[in-house]
Structure 1
Amino acid sequence: MVPTLNAIRHSRRHLARWMRPQRRPVAWTFRPARAWIRYQPLGCIGIIAPWNYPLYLALAPLVDALAAGNRALIKPSEYTPRLAELLARVIGRAFAAEEVAVVTGGPDVAAAFASLPFDHLLFTGSTAIGRRVMAAAAANLTPVTLELGGKSPVIVGPDYGVRSAARSIAFGKFFNAGQTCVAPDYVLAPTHMVRPLAVALLREAQRAYPTVADNPDYTAMITERHHARLVAAIEAARAAGAEVLAHEDAGAAGLRKIGPTIVLAPPAGSLLMQEEIFGPVLPILPYDTIEAAIATVNAGDRPLALYCLTHDAALREAVLARTLSGGVTLNGTLLHVTQDGLPFGGVGPSGIGAYHGRAGFERFSHARGIFQPGRFNGLELVRPPYGFVARRIARLLIGR
């Protein structure tokens, strides 16, 4: 709720400035003249929201769409039916149906929704479903913004305190039981720090969540299938020889809950290292040099987020200069997402395009270029029939 309200306040505070026409320079060959950009609404924006943050990820893009002057149609996830119904009622009371509306239903409705000829379509969800959404939108040449996911790494510098690192990583990883698109997916730590960090992470998780099964602050997996997938991944890593540290709690499994789990050096080919985890399971990998850590990140798809924990300016610059991710939080996790002054989006398989604040206003606007020549336009002299004046002007323009 708080990030949504902040997004509204931010847009209301800055919208008048965003809307102003922006002057652009005019080449001397076209002067006297004026050139400027005018931002205009695209029309109707489609928003397909996910289940993990169903309110924020429906309303944050709506704020940007409305700020740009558009209408919008929202499709919440079928996994959050009560929130979807509530959102439909609240939106229905606040807006006319032709301004903003909510469509509810299952996967068939979502597929039909993605096939509508929107002026822009924003989807938040998995990379696999994002490909389908993009294919459906392509039939209408509908431009898309895809907020997907991926394996967001944490690189811990050798200078960074173990307790401080554990506190930041545990906050980002175990919030919502890891069901966050920008949650840390794996950690790269200096070899000598791996075990102390794993122990500190488990201790921090136990402090934040003393119990799992009966703890209302600790989230369950969204479905039985998702729960079973992660349980199988943990057991596969253990069977392959990886060490597993877990905050176990009797009765948690029956409630689709998995306690915070740390896996030390799972095999590179395991599910935990090949797919986005999207749950409270955190692999920790050792590295000997920062070059090796950067190489590990760059060997995978470009992630939605990257986290670098270090006070060493040279190490931090090496990571920022030699990796590419959708966004970055330094010496923390998750927090770049809630900054309305920063664009939020992925790159490559982690997403297409960005929104939030001014970036969202521009994403859902058409930047219309406008040119107005002065009363005298010298280039009009260069017109057929081409004579002496036209030749002299042409030589002047090409520098001969």
Structure 2
Amino acid sequence: MGSGGEERGKGAGFDGAMAAELVAGLRRSFASGRTRSHEWRAAQLKGIVRMIDEKESAIMAALHEDLAKPQMESYLHEISLAKAACTFALKEMKRWMKPEKVPTSLTTFPSSAEIISEPLGVVLVISAWNYPFLLSIDPVIGALVAGNAVVLKPSEVAPATSYFFAKVLPEYIDNSCVKIVEGSIPETTALLEQKWDKIFYTGNGKVGRIVMAAAAKHLTPVALELGGKCPALVDSSVDVKVAAKRIAVGKWGCNNGQACIAPDYILTTKSFAPTLVDAMKRTLEKFYGKDPLESADLSRIVNSNHFKRLMSLLDDENVSGTIVYGGQRDEQHLKIAPTLLLDVPHDSSIMKEEIFGPFLPIVTFDEVEDCIDFINSKSKPLAAYLFTKDRKIEDQFVKNVSAGGILVNDVALHLANPHLPFGGVGESGIGAYHGKFSFDAFSHKKAVLSRGFGGEAPARYPPYTPQKQRILRGLINGSIIALVLAILGFPRD
């Protein structure tokens, strides 16, 4: 647990018995009722904001140690978004917490009805390594806004950021209701054996299935933020210079492609492909220089295992000949240059697996409609991108492409809008969060109907007569005329 002292990146022998004790303690804290008040929830968020302000340099140092992440990326893509999530929730939380009054029906007259958002209880957040600060703290923020007790399991693949949470976060929040567990597979397994009120997992589909199977044993609801191969369709009507810059920063400016919402491949027409490739080449050289391996603005690959995985994709004999730009690598420093590939075979591993790295295949077809058909032949992605000035193509794309989210004429920015849900569909995920969607993800919507002792309807009680049946049919059908006729004894036509 992150209350201090254990070896960095280790769970200090954390096992099933310790996990059970941890959850039991959190359940006692939750049962005390203190997480339910607006004041407690606001205090936790203000503590996180204070932590971000006071420890910004330490957060950046951890991110650089884990991923060699440039300071600009650390601030824009992680620190600022986490702080914005807190400030937005602090502004809106009272409104979210208010019971929602809803209409009643003639059947329950006289009555009042409302929906109450109540915290689920004790929840588990398992986060990812590629945005290890944001993807850890953002779901925790949602859980706290909704009034839950939380266990955060940061990714062991980003040990510096994991250690930061374990060491620093307890100084700023109520650590009787929020716990951090470091470690790897044994610690995660011990946590998954417990009964939770919700599990929120960010990562890949393979582990997502393991999480879902473990949750099923206790009928625990899950939110799975996964990924997939996010396509970017580029139509010839675009401003190609702007499109190239936005695609490049959304691919390589997002952790050097190690992002679930980074474009995984580009689709365009055969006639437009040379123009697009030239624009992408010029943009990449402008961004990262003639020797991108020396660029301080390019994150490294997270570890040697992922480096070797990526190299196996690129060195496939059916793929290596399709490289039109880049391909340089430095195994010692885990750096790989931005790489463009043209018309990679559709059955190659690089086109079947999520790349999660700096390679960007460009796939060409005769017509835009063929590109859309290709997207729809694959699993539904977390995000789908379209670049076009043609409203007909935009309408066709939005209508026919199923994805967690769609962004037109840019990449990744939709996740920065707290009024939009962020999540996948199908194999790219279950559930959504951000803004009020985070509050809803960790809340139970409890239906409450309230009646007084007046307004009795004898027709609902036995013995059931034809007259009573007519009255009840009128009630159920919601027809005032039918009800009045039934009460007066007139037959229905």
1:11 is aligned to 2:84: no
Question: Which residue is equivalent to 1:32?
Answer: 110
Q: Which string of whole-angstrom CA distances, capped at 9 and with x for unpartnered residues, describes residues 38-97 of structure 1?
A: 100001111101110000001111111111111110001111112111111222112233
Distance 2:324 2:252 in 1: 14
TM-score, normalised by the number of residues in structure 2: 0.78
Deviation of 1:376 (Å): 2.7
Pick the aligned partner of 2:259 from 172, 180, 189: 180
Distance 1:111 1:184 in 2: 32
Q: Which amino acid aligns with 1:285?
A: V
CA contact (8 A) 1:155 1:309 kept: yes
Size of the aligned set, in residue pairs, is: 398
1:343 is aligned to 2:417: no
Distance 2:293 2:269 in 1: 34
Question: Which residue is equivalent to 2:279?
Answer: 200
Question: Which residue is equivalent to 1:230?
Answer: 310
Q: Which amino acid aligns with 2:298?
A: Y
Question: Which residue is equivalent to 1:356?
Answer: 434
User: Which consecutive residues of structure 2, in runs of 5 or more, have no partner in the other structure?
Assistant: 1-78, 483-491
Question: Which residue is equivalent to 1:319?
Answer: 397
Q: Which amino acid aligns with 1:200?
A: A
CA contact (8 A) 2:250 2:262 kept: yes
Bigger shift: 82-91 or 357-366? Answer: 82-91
Question: Which residue is equivalent to 2:323?
Answer: 244
Q: Which amino acid aligns with 2:87?
A: R
Deviation of 1:134 (Å): 0.7
CA 1:143–1:361 in structure 2 vs 1: closer, same or farther (change >3 Å)?
same
Deviation of 1:370 (Å): 0.4
CA 1:94–1:197 in structure 2 vs 1: closer, same or farther (change >3 Å)?
same
Q: Which amino acid aligns with 1:306?
A: A
Distance 1:179 1:244 in 2: 19
Q: Which string of whole-angstrom CA distances, capped at 9 and with x for unpartnered residues, describes residues 329-385 of structure 1?
A: 111001111211111100000000001111110110010000012443344532012
Distance 2:196 2:452 in 1: 38
Q: Which string of whole-angstrom CA distances, capped at 9 and with x for unpartnered residues, describes residues 290-340 of structure 1?
A: 221111000000000011111211110100100110012111001111211
Distance 2:146 2:320 in 1: 54
User: Aligned to 1:255, what secondary structure does the other structure show?
Assistant: coil
Q: Which amino acid aligns with 2:471?
A: I
Question: Which residue is equivalent to 2:460?
Answer: 382
Question: Which residue is equivalent to 1:81?
Answer: 159
CA contact (8 A) 2:113 2:450 kept: yes
CA contact (8 A) 1:35 1:372 kept: yes
TM-score, normalised by the number of residues in structure 1: 0.95
Distance 2:231 2:141 in 1: 30
Distance 2:161 2:231 in 1: 31
CA 1:139–1:161 in structure 2 vs 1: closer, same or farther (change >3 Å)?
same
- Using the aligned pairs only, state the percent identity: 36
Q: Which amino acid aligns with 2:186?
A: D
CA 1:292–1:378 in structure 2 vs 1: closer, same or farther (change >3 Å)?
farther
Question: Which residue is equivalent to 2:206?
Answer: 128
For 1:82-161, what aligned pairs fall within 5 Å after superposition?
Answer: 82-161=160-239
1:220 is aligned to 2:288: no
CA contact (8 A) 1:174 1:280 kept: yes
Distance 2:244 2:284 in 1: 9
CA 1:71–1:119 in structure 2 vs 1: closer, same or farther (change >3 Å)?
same
User: Aligned to 1:141, what secondary structure does the other structure show?
Assistant: coil
For 1:286-297, what aligned pairs fall within 5 Å after superposition?
Answer: 286-297=364-375
User: Which consecutive residues of structure 1, in runs of 5 or more, have no partner in the other structure?
Assistant: none
Distance 1:221 1:278 in 2: 10
